[in-house]
Amino acid sequence: MEREMTARAPLFQTHGTKGRTLYKLYASFILTCILFILFYRLTHIPLEHYTLTFAWISLFASELWFSFYWILTQTVRWNPIYHQTFKQRLLQRYGNELPGVDVFVCTADPVAEPPSLVMSTVLSMMAYDYPKEKLSVYLSDDAGSELTFYALCEACKFAKHWIPFCNKFDVEPRSPNAFFYKSCHSSSSNLPISNEWSKMKDMYEEMINRINFVVAQGKVPQKLKQHQGFSKWTSDMIPRNHDAVIQILVDRDDENSVDNENILLPRVIYVAREKRHQHHHNFKAGSMNVLLRVSSQISNGPIILNVDCDMYSNNSQSIKDALCFFLDEKKGHEIGFVQYPQYYDNITKNDLYDNSLNVLSMIDLPGMDGFERPLYIGSGCFHRREALEGRKYSKGYIEDWNRGVDRTCASACVLEEKVKHLASCIYEHNTLWGKEIGLRYGCAAEDMLTGLAIHYKGWKSKYMDLERKAFLGVGPTTLEQNLLQRKRWSEGGLQIFLSKSSPLLFGHQKIKFGACMGYSIYNLWAANSFPTLTYLLIPPLFLLNNISLFPKVRIYIINSNLITNIYDHQYLTFSIIVS
Ligand SMILES: O=c1ccn([C@@H]2O[C@H](COP(=O)(O)OP(=O)(O)O[C@H]3O[C@H](CO)[C@@H](O)[C@H](O)[C@H]3O)[C@@H](O)[C@H]2O)c(=O)[nH]1
Ligand SMILES: [Mn+2]
């Protein structure tokens, strides 16, 4: 009886927030204010001078736009939802038959993304608390650099010590860089500084020194090229023009495949796709698609986790939390992907450039979850392989969680050669890759577009924020990096708005209208720039001539704050309600 009860109990449950009614009252108050402002503008148009009339009408147009955008944002603030997962139930029911998980880590430049840090991310993935025979870690190196390959060889050797250490002391986080940094700088570290701790730290530092030495040299000295894989680097290889290199560094059934306590290690595969000047490589989307194909022949895990190389796993349980969604008997089969938030651990106290993305992580994505369509925002997302590969959701769909690859006859070397053509430049020519299959090309926000396509094909998605953050990354720190990132996001969003996938214009037949409006917040982000500029320039210019475009000072304050900063105000109020 008890077993039956657990068998039927869901693997996750969903709840709303307590402050919802209060928030709705607050939003109604704001709406009334907005209507008053618009009414005032319409009934007081100054006609005495044409510049004044023009300024007035410009402000009115901006306010109309802000009001429209405010209504868009309300869709995701009206009904945010949050989930709770039951990992214990998952393990009771599926402990011995958990699905294979393929982790894709992407790196593109050994200078901007130092291999020593990339290896900490890779090690945090290898050390997940998950059956190692079910885990495969793929590193995509878009620079095709032997420095990164060398670093990965070092990381695999270090993993033999690191993983047992993590298991023994229940280490969190399992990125050695973050772990040693945090245990030296924070009093809350759960591990006493012991002999073993010091030994492991020394070992880690020695490895990092070796990697940094090689990186500083710009090439791997001959005596360090112990792995036969180095023979694939020829002297004419440059990042934009080289042959594909695929190396299975840790496989099954060889002396390299176990840690020093004789426990199996996860598979580790290095992939540098072919690059040629004359062929466009489609950035991260292109590399992810190569990994999708290559992995389908090596491990073929039904679940795929993608992380950027600077975003380590901060919670060794997060795979199991994600699986609680996919494996839930009642709702799991509809879910195409599960997105975790992207938090950064290098945010400065004042967060000058607003990098913490709190509104997105704490409100907007839970709000989109209310429509069962949180966005795919890139790093930290678990995908159902079939959904990513372009399959449509159909009602009777049943996933084959045990799928794998029949490897009985293929040794690692044979397999490497066999799958090489999947990483070639011409493989995708005249195929649907990048259009209907895999990550979508031609958009600066390839992840949002890909997630949207998955939603259009009938799949739902989930958003999950764990108490112990699932992933932590390195956010942009300079103004230049910020502008570049924001420009890419706003440009990508606008591209989607103007395309035939536009949620607001064409999406309502495929997904709920509320979700279309939610997507449009990001699609129309760039369009806010003109009204904002108008609003920031015109009133002060007129004030210089002692002409106020607002009725009274007090109302001006309310007005400008309400309209231009409305999102922040709501966020503040809302977070008070939520907490
Ligand atoms: O040709 C390329 C370019 C980039 N990358 C990798 O893609 C990731 C993201 O690139 P980055 O330049 O760091 O972009 P960010 O703006 O920091 O990334 C955010 O925005 C991207 C797209 O908007 C998402 O894909 C990311 O997951 C999300 O973290 C990094 O790991 C890169 O190494 C490649 O593999 N190949
Ligand atoms: Mn990045």
27-38 pLDDT tens trace: 999 999 999 999
Domain range enclosing 284: 85-477
**pLDDT above 80: residue 375:** yes
Ligand 1 site residues, Cβ closer than 6 angstroms: 106-108, 113, 140, 142, 283-284, 287, 308-309, 342, 378-379, 445, 447, 485, 488-489
pLDDT at 352: 85
Judge if 76 and 115 occupy the same domain: no
pLDDT at 555: 47
Joined together, the tokens standing for residue 518 give 């939610």
Joined together, the tokens standing for residue 362 give 């704490």
CA 252 to CA 132: how far, in whole Å? 10
Domain contains 507: no
Domain final residue pick, 446, 477, 508: 477
**Which atom of ligand 1 is the closest one to the Cα of 108?**
33
Q: What is the DSSP letter of 433?
A: B
pLDDT at 81: 96
Query: How far apart are the CA of 307 and the centre of ligand 2, in A?
Result: 10
| pLDDT, average across residues 551-572 | 49
The label of the residue with tokens 């796709």 reads 273
Phi-psi region at 497: left, alpha or beta (left = phi > 0; alpha = psi -120 to 50): alpha
Judge if 147 and 275 occupy the same domain: yes
Judge if 216 and 192 occupy the same domain: yes
Query: How far apart are the CA of 474 and the centre of ligand 2, in A?
Result: 7
When comparing pLDDT for 6 and 287, which is higher?
287
pLDDT at 338: 98
- Best probe residue, ligand 1, of 113, 274, 284 (max atoms within 8 Å of C-beta): 284
Query: How many other C-beta atoms are found inside a 10 Å radius of the C-beta of residue 561?
Result: 12
Q: What is the DSSP letter of 98?
A: P
| pLDDT, average across residues 176-184 | 93
pLDDT at 26: 92
pLDDT band at 254 (very low <50, low <70, confident <90, very high): confident
**pLDDT above 50: residue 277:** yes
Domain contains 503: no
Domain contains 5: no
Contact of 557 with 539, CB cutoff 8 Å: no
Angle (deg, nearest 10), helices 318-326 and 87-94: 70
List the single range of 249-253, 434-438, 475-479, 570-574 with lowest mean pLDDT: 570-574
| pLDDT, average across residues 463-480 | 95
Domain contains 531: no
| pLDDT, average across residues 226-252 | 93
Judge if 40 and 109 occupy the same domain: no
Q: What ipTM was assigned to the predicted interfaces of this complex?
A: 0.97
Domain final residue pick, 460, 477, 494: 477
Kindly identify the ligand whose nearest atom is closest to the C-alpha of 305.
1
Domain contains 342: yes
| pLDDT, average across residues 304-320 | 98
Query: How far apart are the CA of 308 and the centre of ligand 2, in A?
Result: 7
Residue owning the nearest CA to atom 32 of ligand 1: 107
Judge if 67 and 121 occupy the same domain: no
Domain contains 54: yes
Task: Domain count for the chain, please give it.
Answer: 3
What is the enclosing helix (H) or strand (E) of 248? Answer: strand 245-250
| pLDDT, average across residues 6-23 | 87
What is the tens place of the pLDDT at every residue in 413-453? 999 999 999 999 999 999 999 999 999 999 999 999 999 99
End-to-end distance of the chain based on CA atoms, in angstroms? Answer: 39
**pLDDT above 70: residue 126:** yes
**pLDDT above 50: residue 478:** yes
**pLDDT above 80: residue 569:** no
Residue owning the nearest CA to atom 12 of ligand 1: 485
**pLDDT above 60: residue 74:** yes
Residue owning the nearest CA to atom 5 of ligand 1: 284
Domain contains 4: no
pLDDT at 332: 97
**pLDDT above 70: residue 571:** no
CA 197 to CA 194: how far, in whole Å? 5
List the single range of 187-201, 307-321, 486-500 with lowest mean pLDDT: 187-201
CA 496 to CA 452: how far, in whole Å? 10
Mention every residue, 6+ apart, whose C-beta is less than 8 A from residue 320.
85, 87, 90, 91, 129, 130
CATH number at residue 254: 3.90.550.10
What is the tens place of the pLDDT at every residue in 51-63? 999 999 999 999 9
pLDDT band at 568 (very low <50, low <70, confident <90, very high): very low
pLDDT at 210: 98
Cross-strand bridge partners of residue 307: 105
pLDDT at 409: 62
The percent helix, strand, coil of the chain (3-state, each to 5) is 50, 10, 35
Query: How far apart are the CA of 434 and the centre of ligand 1, in A?
Result: 17
When comparing pLDDT for 454 and 2, which is higher?
454
**Which atom of ligand 1 is the closest one to the Cα of 309?**
31
Mean pLDDT of the chain: 91
List the single range of 112-126, 339-353, 384-398 with lowest mean pLDDT: 339-353
Judge if 425 and 449 occupy the same domain: yes
Judge if 40 and 174 occupy the same domain: no
**Residue 142 annotated to the active site:** yes
pLDDT at 570: 45
Domain contains 26: yes
When comparing pLDDT for 579 and 570, which is higher?
570
pLDDT at 4: 54
**Residue 236 annotated to the active site:** no
pLDDT at 256: 78
pLDDT at 552: 66
Contact of 387 with 456, CB cutoff 8 Å: no
Query: How far apart are the CA of 283 and the centre of ligand 2, in A?
Result: 13
Query: How far apart are the CA of 107 and the centre of ligand 2, in A?
Result: 10
**Which atom of ligand 1 is the closest one to the Cα of 308?**
31
| pLDDT, average across residues 555-569 | 48
| pLDDT, average across residues 211-218 | 97
Query: What percentage of the chain has pLDDT greater than the value 70?
Result: 92
Mention every residue, 6+ apart, whose C-beta is less than 8 A from residue 40.
551
Contact of 140 with 288, CB cutoff 8 Å: yes
Kindly identify the ligand whose nearest atom is closest to the C-alpha of 492.
1
**pLDDT above 80: residue 191:** no
Phi-psi region at 246: left, alpha or beta (left = phi > 0; alpha = psi -120 to 50): beta
Residue owning the nearest CA to atom 15 of ligand 1: 485
Judge if 362 and 257 occupy the same domain: yes
**Residue 410 CA: distances (Å) to CA of 42, 65, 133, 292:** 75, 61, 17, 19
Domain final residue pick, 429, 454, 477: 477
Residue owning the nearest CA to atom 13 of ligand 1: 308
**Which atom of ligand 1 is the closest one to the Cα of 475?**
17
**Which atom of ligand 1 is the closest one to the Cα of 140?**
35
Query: How far apart are the CA of 208 and the centre of ligand 2, in A?
Result: 21
Judge if 263 and 127 occupy the same domain: yes
CA 523 to CA 138: how far, in whole Å? 32
- For residue 2, report the phi and psi dihedrals to the nearest 5 degrees: -65, -40
142, 251, 308, 310: the catalytic one is 142
pLDDT at 119: 98
pLDDT at 556: 46
| pLDDT, average across residues 2-9 | 62
**pLDDT above 80: residue 323:** yes
**Which atom of ligand 1 is the closest one to the Cα of 342?**
29
Judge if 557 and 457 occupy the same domain: no
Judge if 50 and 197 occupy the same domain: no
When comparing pLDDT for 575 and 408, which is higher?
408
Judge if 166 and 28 occupy the same domain: no
- Best probe residue, ligand 1, of 141, 270, 308 (max atoms within 8 Å of C-beta): 308
**pLDDT above 90: residue 230:** yes
Mention every residue, 6+ apart, whose C-beta is less than 8 A from residue 489.
444, 445, 522, 525
Cα 422 to chain centroid, rounded: 25
